[in-house]
Amino acid sequence: MRIIPAIDIINGKCVRLTKGDYDTQKIYGEDPLEMAKMFEGFGFRYLHLVDLDGAKSKQIVNHKVLESIAKNTKLKVDFGGGIKSISDVELAFSCGAKQITAGSMAVQQPELFLGILQKFGSKKIILGTDVLNRKIATNGWRKYAVDIEMIEFICSYEQKGIEYLICTDISKDGMLQGPATDLYAETLNQTNLKLIASGGCSSIEEIKELKKIGCEGVIIGKAIYENKINLKELAELC
């Protein structure tokens, strides 16, 4: 299972939110590149980089941060936030992303999303699903598509060629009270997708349980920054 540290960016700084609420942002570092280098130094090979400014905007904002990390580390970066067009996808890849994550686009502009999937391939495009009460949330979680049921949505995209899925239960995100393991197990039972769990992990034991149920990867953010999980122990799971 891939162990994927997360860096979220607002105004060029490393932050974390609670339940996706921008008013709860807490700064954990002034320099995302130094944070990325620290992760690489511990032996991590992957990074989940989110442009939270972009998620609120109409396009990618912090692409220079992505470019700096890609040029100065060997981390394989998946990048999300602000990807609203083919040009955004091309920009992310030109700046060094190995994969991109798109969520709101898949809900609001499915034809565009499928065009991107066809152009770049299922190995490079991750379907991002942010979920609240089993419904899909969009636009940095500030708007909710309450009529779209999660499993149905995911299955429809699996049929159209999606291979990778990041699933975040908003109610768990940043709470350090455990991941949505039951939701992930149900998703894995109903699909053959490579599921990357995101949100709520606070212990090595929880991560091992996610591996046991079949998750392809797990994204760890706040638990690292709040020293709930020891980085050396976490790196040993890679």
Distance (Å, rounded) from C-alpha 10 to C-alpha 106?
23
Residue 26: strand, helix, or coil: strand
Task: Tell me whether residue 51 is one of the annotated catalytic residues.
Answer: no
Distance (Å, rounded) from C-alpha 9 to C-alpha 3?
20
Q: Which of 8, 53, 78, 88 is catalytic?
A: 8
Question: Would you state the structure tokens that stand for residue 11, as one six-digit string?
Answer: 């105004």
Q: Do the Cβ atoms of 90 and 119 come closer than 8 Å? A: no
Closest by CA position to 134, among listed 81, 195, 201, 180: 180
Closest by CA position to 202, among listed 171, 233, 174: 174
Distance (Å, rounded) from C-alpha 1 to C-alpha 238?
7
Q: Do the Cβ atoms of 99 and 164 come closer than 8 Å? A: yes
Q: Which of 51, 53, 78, 130 is catalytic?
A: 130
Distance (Å, rounded) from C-alpha 45 to C-alpha 76?
6
Q: Do the Cβ atoms of 105 and 83 come closer than 8 Å? A: yes
Task: Tell me whether residue 8 is one of the annotated catalytic residues.
Answer: yes
Q: Do the Cβ atoms of 48 and 4 come closer than 8 Å? A: yes
Closest by CA position to 4, among listed 60, 41, 61, 46: 46
Catalytic machinery residues = 8, 130
